[in-house]
Amino acid sequence: MPDNAPLEATDLTIECEVLIDAPIEVVWQTITEPDQIAKWFADEAHVELRANGPGVLVFEDKETGQSTRAALVVATVEPPRRFSFRWGHPEGEVPAAGNSALVEFALSAEGSDRTRLRVTETGLDATPWPQDEKERYVEDHRRGWAHHLGRLEVLLAADA
């Protein structure tokens, strides 16, 4: 299995992991700073890096020219080990357990120049979404996280 392959998608939980050839501090900056997020994940990023900090990620569809804005709220900031946010909540609602997905980034140093990054997305089981919509979300995000973590891995390898 490639390093950036999804580990599993059971019970609507998405888990992906990648081993990155970069120190933990570099990976932390790349996954939390808006100008860095725009290099590997979203086309545009605005994030206040603090608990309850608001954020927006903009994803451009190159084929249609359409863009999707994903509002988020930062849940946890524990440099350089843990970062999480909630997204997928209904417009006008505050994201919380029961109306949104929780994305958690867990970083662990492997020596001085490598970092294991695990991304876990949970909370869909508690949302009121129809089951088929939840299953589509899991499939899309499982592929999406594997793709984006692959981009992150290539970006940081190029900087090494």
pLDDT tens-digit profile of 130-142? 999 999 999 999 9
pLDDT tens-digit profile of 95-112? 999 999 999 999 999 999
> What's the pLDDT band for 12 if we cut at 50, 70, 90?
very high
pLDDT tens-digit profile of 23-67? 999 999 999 999 999 999 999 999 999 999 999 999 999 899 999
The angle subtended at Cα 107 by Cα 101 and Cα 111, nearest 5°, is 165
> What's the pLDDT band for 11 if we cut at 50, 70, 90?
confident
The whole-number average pLDDT for the span 125-151 is 95
Go through the domains of the chain in sequence order and give each one's CATH number. Answer: 6-159 (3.30.530.20)
CA torsion through residues 30, 31, 34, 36, sign: positive
Q: How far is CA 111 from CA 25, 114, 136, in A?
A: 12, 6, 38
Alpha helix (H) residue ranges in 72-130: none
